[in-house]
Structure 1
Amino acid sequence: MFQTEFEFTLPCGYLDEDGTLHKEGVMRRATAADEIHPLKDPRVLKNEAYVLIILLSRVVTRLGGVASINPKVIEGLFATDLAFLQRLYNQINDIEDDAAPCPHCGRSGLAEGGQRLGEHVATPSLN
Structure 2
Amino acid sequence: MRRRIGLEELLEQAPAPASQTAAPQPRRPGHPDPREHGPRTEFEFELPLGYVDDDGTVHRHGAMRLATARDELMPQIDKRVKENPAYLSVVLLSHVITRLGTVTDVHAGVVEQMYATDVAFLQDLYQRINSEGHTRAAVTCPHCDGSFEVDLAGGRLGES
- Unaligned residue ranges in structure 2 (runs of 5+): 1-37, 140-147
Which residue of 13, 18, 35 maps to 2:72? 35
Q: 1-side partners of 2:60 and 2:154: how far apart?
A: 13
Q: 2-side partners of 1:85 and 1:124: how far apart?
A: 18
Quote how far apart the aligned CAs of 1:5 are.
0.2
Letter in 1 for 2:89: L
Letter in 1 for 2:110: V
| TM-score when normalising by structure 1 | 0.78
1:22/1:65 contact within 8 Å kept? yes
Partner residue in 2 for 1:63: 100
Is the alpha carbon distance of 1:92 and 1:67 closer, same or farther for their aligned partners in structure 2, counting shifts above 3 Å?
closer
Q: 1-side partners of 2:156 and 2:85: how far apart?
A: 29
Q: 2-side partners of 1:3 and 1:76: how far apart?
A: 29
Q: Matched residue pairs, number?
A: 111
Q: Does 1:19 align with 2:56?
A: yes
Which residue of 70, 78, 81 maps to 1:44? 81
Letter in 2 for 1:107: A
Quote how far apart the aligned CAs of 1:79 are.
0.4
2:98/2:104 contact within 8 Å kept? no
| TM-score when normalising by structure 2 | 0.62
Q: Which runs of 4+ in 1 moved over 6 A?
A: none
Local SS of the residue matching 1:107: strand
Letter in 1 for 2:103: V
1:9/1:124 contact within 8 Å kept? no
Identity of aligned residues (%): 47
**Cα root mean square deviation, aligned:** 2.6
Partner residue in 2 for 1:123: 155
Q: Does 1:82 align with 2:119?
A: yes
Partner residue in 1 for 2:18: none
Partner residue in 1 for 2:138: 107
